[in-house]
């Protein structure tokens, strides 16, 4: 049994509020009741938006970039002190292994907060001259958009929350963050620490709530100036639709079906490990998971044997124990979806290979699915084209570089990808032709807060992280400075006036 973490409320206008429906949070690890959360009702969501709007004009627009960065730095230090609790909460709630939360998700979340507290590329203004009008100059201001509505998915809750909070705050916006109703615990813990860090009340509001009601209110509200959404492509379309009831900026970080290309000149041992890491980390519930292995025909059999051997040696168990390798599936619905998609694949003639027996080795009341390889993919079976969001990798083969690129791009998604080869020129050639926002060369999943990420095609619009990620939360204002002696003015005015 996992310990109970107590009660969590929504954080609105600097207060922890209890209106809404109570929800028991059950861990996918072993079915333990781990917390009680209040799911925000519609009034709470509207109040959060009002609070974010009020403080924007009364206080926040007058703060300096340095003040805002100092608040993020303070927040990062508080989270650091509590990193163990955050790791426990994140693993208990999502089912990801405690090893992953402790060594990856929480430290990266803290690093990323610090990145935005210290980055120096973003400047609030830049000066220009106007080539058409000698003697004049201009100031371009990068002004905040206003109130940001942020909608977060269930798979990487703390990191996704910070990826929205930190750049939005640096750029001078206020924010209402809706965490997933399934995995709200680390976001609501973060709300407590936002409060401790001393952010002016209302600048950061964090609520948990149902997507179709609370998410919809956020996307639709005329007081929300921009929406930053991360989730599935189908929900992204609904958000875009709801947001279009007004005029606002929408960034969408959506699903993927990412190609992972292995050439025969790659270091095979590393490529096998990296490919397994690419698909089975978090049991494949990562948007950028390398779910399509595209391997050169000459090494395919050997590569698959090496994969099977390594999978068979993985350690399934209780994800809350440090030595366990396999994460749980976060929700019951997701487990059903994975099972159904794999069965459908089987019916379409795909060969299902599961080298690791997990039954009896994972907690019986939890949600688990074994690492799965799908072989015998020919063409465009649904299972090879659509996101499964589970520990399932489809395998396709290629003979030429051209064919590899063509298979990689034969998808409506374009989030991430990888290329494994020892030939640097080939790596760059192929990487530059893949239609995806991220291409790893001889690696997978490594995240840098300095690098913008996002999707091509149905994987989204806009970018998160890096300078580009901050600029997404700004709008430009051009101040045109003319002095009175500007001779061209007389010419221009002369077009109208005698």
Residue 90 · residue 103 · CB < 8 Å: no
For residue 362, which of 389, 391, 384, 386 has the smallest C-alpha distance? 391
How far is Cα 49 from Cα 55, in angstroms, rounded to an integer?
Answer: 10
474-481 and 137-144: which strand pairing? antiparallel
Using the rule CB under 6 A, is 216 a contact of ligand NAD?
A: yes
Catalytic center residues: 253, 287
Choose which of 28, 215, 259, 370 interacts with ligand NAD (CB under 6 A).
215
Choose which of 48, 106, 117, 152 interacts with ligand NAD (CB under 6 A).
152
Task: Give least dist CB 33 to ligand NAD, A.
Answer: 21
Using the rule CB under 6 A, is 181 a contact of ligand NAD?
A: yes
Choose which of 63, 80, 141, 232 interacts with ligand NAD (CB under 6 A).
232
Task: Give least dist CB 215 to ligand NAD, A.
Answer: 2
33-39 and 7-8: which strand pairing? parallel
3-state secondary structure 271-339: HHHHHHHHHHHHHHCCCCCCCEEEEEHHHHHHHHHHHHHHHHCCCCCCCCCCCCCCCCCCCHHHHHHHH
Task: Give least dist CB 488 to ligand NAD, A.
Answer: 48
Choose which of 95, 211, 290, 466 interacts with ligand NAD (CB under 6 A).
211
Could you give the string, one character per residue 276-315, with x where binding to ligand NAD holds by CB under 6 A and - elsewhere? -----------x----------------------------
Choose which of 53, 180, 296, 438 interacts with ligand NAD (CB under 6 A).
180
How is 329-385 classified by DSSP, letter by letter? Answer: PS-HHHHHHHHHHHHHHHHTTPEEE-----TTTS-TTS-----EEEE---S--HHHH
137-144 and 125-129: which strand pairing? antiparallel
For residue 3, which of 34, 36, 37, 31 has the smallest C-alpha distance? 34
Structure letter (DSSP) for residue 3: P
Q: Enumerate residues 107-146 that contact ligand NAD by CB under 6 A.
A: none
Residue 221 · residue 149 · CB < 8 Å: yes
Q: Which residue's CB is nearer to ligand NAD, number 296 or number 372?
A: 372
Using the rule CB under 6 A, is 449 a contact of ligand NAD?
A: no
Q: Which residue's CB is nearer to ligand NAD, number 216 or number 397?
A: 216
Choose which of 86, 115, 154, 440 interacts with ligand NAD (CB under 6 A).
154
309 exposure class (CB count in 10 Å sphere: 0-12, 13-18, 19+)? exposed
What is the CA 19 to chain-centroid distance, rounded?
29
Using the rule CB under 6 A, is 48 a contact of ligand NAD?
A: no
Q: Which residue's CB is nearer to ligand NAD, number 78 or number 240?
A: 240
Using the rule CB under 6 A, is 155 a contact of ligand NAD?
A: yes
Q: Which residue has the tokens 């519930």?
A: 285
Choose which of 29, 49, 89, 151 interacts with ligand NAD (CB under 6 A).
151
Given the rule CB under 6 A, which of 194-202, 234-242, 261-269, 276-284 is the region that contacts ligand NAD? 234-242
Task: Give least dist CB 335 to ligand NAD, A.
Answer: 13
Choose which of 50, 51, 119, 387 interacts with ligand NAD (CB under 6 A).
387
- For 223, residues 6+ apart whose C-beta sits below 8 A from its C-beta are 49, 50, 52, 53, 147
Given the rule CB under 6 A, which of 105-113, 148-156, 354-362, 427-435 is the region that contacts ligand NAD? 148-156
- For 67, residues 6+ apart whose C-beta sits below 8 A from its C-beta are none
Choose which of 89, 171, 219, 392 interacts with ligand NAD (CB under 6 A).
219
Task: Give least dist CB 490 to ligand NAD, A.
Answer: 54
Q: Which residue's CB is nearer to ligand NAD, number 181 or number 327?
A: 181
Task: Give least dist CB 440 to ligand NAD, A.
Answer: 15
Given the rule CB under 6 A, which of 80-88, 211-219, 292-300, 360-368 is the region that contacts ligand NAD? 211-219
Supply angle C-alpha 141, 142, 144, rounded to 5: 125
> CB 78: neighbour CB atoms within 10 A?
17
How far is Cα 138 from Cα 123, in angstroms, rounded to an integer?
Answer: 15
Using the rule CB under 6 A, is 462 a contact of ligand NAD?
A: no
For residue 258, which of 99, 110, 86, 392 has the smallest C-alpha distance? 392
Phi, psi for 55 (deg, rounded to 5): -70, -25
Q: What is the dihedral of CA 427, 428, 430, 433, to 10 degrees?
A: 160
Across 146-265, the runs of DSSP E, i.e. the strands, are 147-151, 174-179, 204-208, 226-230, 249-253, 259-262
Using the rule CB under 6 A, is 370 a contact of ligand NAD?
A: no
Could you give the string, one character per residue 60-89, with x where binding to ligand NAD holds by CB under 6 A and - elsewhere? ------------------------------
Task: Please work out the total of residues on this chain that contact ligand NAD, with binding judged by CB under 6 A.
Answer: 30
Given the rule CB under 6 A, which of 86-94, 150-158, 396-404, 480-488 is the region that contacts ligand NAD? 150-158
Choose which of 20, 95, 202, 256 interacts with ligand NAD (CB under 6 A).
256
Interface contacts to ligand NAD, rule CB under 6 A: 151-156, 178, 180-181, 211-212, 215-216, 219, 230-232, 235, 238-239, 253-256, 287, 387, 389, 415, 455, 460
């Amino acid at each position: 049994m996992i310990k109970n973490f107590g009660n969590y409320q929504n954080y609105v206008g600097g207060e922890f509020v209890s209106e809404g429906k109570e929800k028991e949070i059950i861990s996918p690890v072993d079915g333990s009741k781990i917390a009680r959360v209040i799911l925000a009702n519609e009034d709470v969501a509207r109040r959060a938006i009002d609070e974010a709007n009020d403080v924007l004009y009364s206080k926040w627009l007058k703060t300096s970039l340095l003040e805002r960065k100092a608040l993020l730095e303070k927040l990062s230090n508080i989270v650091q002190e509590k990193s163990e609790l955050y790791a426990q909460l994140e693993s208990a709630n999502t089912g990801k292994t405690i090893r992953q939360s402790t060594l990856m998700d929480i430290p990266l979340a803290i690093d990323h907060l610090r990145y935005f507290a210290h980055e120096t590329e973003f400047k609030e203004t830049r000066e220009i001259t106007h080539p058409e009008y000698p003697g004049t100059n201009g100031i371009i201001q990068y002004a905040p958009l206003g109130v940001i509505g942020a909608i977060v998915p269930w798979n990487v809750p703390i990191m996704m929350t910070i990826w929205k909070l930190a750049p939005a705050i640096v750029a001078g916006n206020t924010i209402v963050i809706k965490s997933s109703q399934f995995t709200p615990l680390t976001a609501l813990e973060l709300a407590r620490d936002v409060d401790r860090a001393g952010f002016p009340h209302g600048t950061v509001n964090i609520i948990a709530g149902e997507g179709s009601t609370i998410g919809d209110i956020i996307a639709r509200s005329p007081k929300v100036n921009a929406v930053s959404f991360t989730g599935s492509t189908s929900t992204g379309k609904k958000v875009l639709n709801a947001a279009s009831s007004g005029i606002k900026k929408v960034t969408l970080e959506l699903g993927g079906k990412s190609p992972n290309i292995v050439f025969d000149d790659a270091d095979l041992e590393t490529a096998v490990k990296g490919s397994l890491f690419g698909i089975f980390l978090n049991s494949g519930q990562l948007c950028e998971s390398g779910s399509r292995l595209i391997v050169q025909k000459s090494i395919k059999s050997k590569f698959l044997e090496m994969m099977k051997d390594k999978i068979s040696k993985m350690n399934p168990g209780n994800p809350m124990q440090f030595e366990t390798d396999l994460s749980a599936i976060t929700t019951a619905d997701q487990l059903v979806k994975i099972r159904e998609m794999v069965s459908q694949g089987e019916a379409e003639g795909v060969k299902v290979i599961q080298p690791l027996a997990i039954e009896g080795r994972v907690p019986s009341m939890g949600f688990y699915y074994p690492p799965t390889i799908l072989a015998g993919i020919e063409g465009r079976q649904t299972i090879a084209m659509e996101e499964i969001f589970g520990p399932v990798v489809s395998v396709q083969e290629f003979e030429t570089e051209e064919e590899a690129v063509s298979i990689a791009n034969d998808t409506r998604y374009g989030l991430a990808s990888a290329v494994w080869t020892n030939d640097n020129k080939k790596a760059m050639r192929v990487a530059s032709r893949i239609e995806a926002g991220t291409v790893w060369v001889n690696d997978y999943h490594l995240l840098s807060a300095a690098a913008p990420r996002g999707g091509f095609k149905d994987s989204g619009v806009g970018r998160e992280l890096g300078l580009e990620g901050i600029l997404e939360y700004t709008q430009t204002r051009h101040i045109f400075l003319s002095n009175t002696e500007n001779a061209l003015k007389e010419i221009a005015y002369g077009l109208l006036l005698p």
